[in-house]
Amino acid sequence: MDRELCGELGPAVPVVAMGGIASAEDAIEFLAAGATAVQVGSATFVRPPVMLEVVEGIAGYMAGRGMAEVGEISIRS
């Protein structure tokens, strides 16, 4: 995903990241680049509980940094 494109589109245009998200770290990288949502797809065939792991991982990341909303994740966090 292109950080510059997300910056140009601004918050009025939601960007959904998909493809290659198999961990919380992957999802956080996409969110930091400007995605407003992430999709976990193929990874669920290999590890069915991966979606819960991603959600819990994002929640832990945010809690550790005092964040209340996913939108607070940025390249600087």
CA quadruple 61, 63, 66, 67: dihedral positive or negative?
A: positive
60 located within any domain: yes
27 located within any domain: yes
Which residue is associated with the tokens 């919380």? 24
* Low-confidence stretches of the chain (pLDDT beneath 70): 1-7, 9-11, 75-77
57 located within any domain: yes
77 located within any domain: no
Helix (H, G, I), strand (E, B) or coil at 54: helix
31 located within any domain: yes
41 located within any domain: yes
Domain of 18, in residue numbers: 3-72
Question: The pTM is what?
Answer: 0.82
Q: 47 with 20: CB under 8 angstroms? A: no
Count the domains in the chain.
1
pLDDT value of residue 52? 96
8 located within any domain: yes
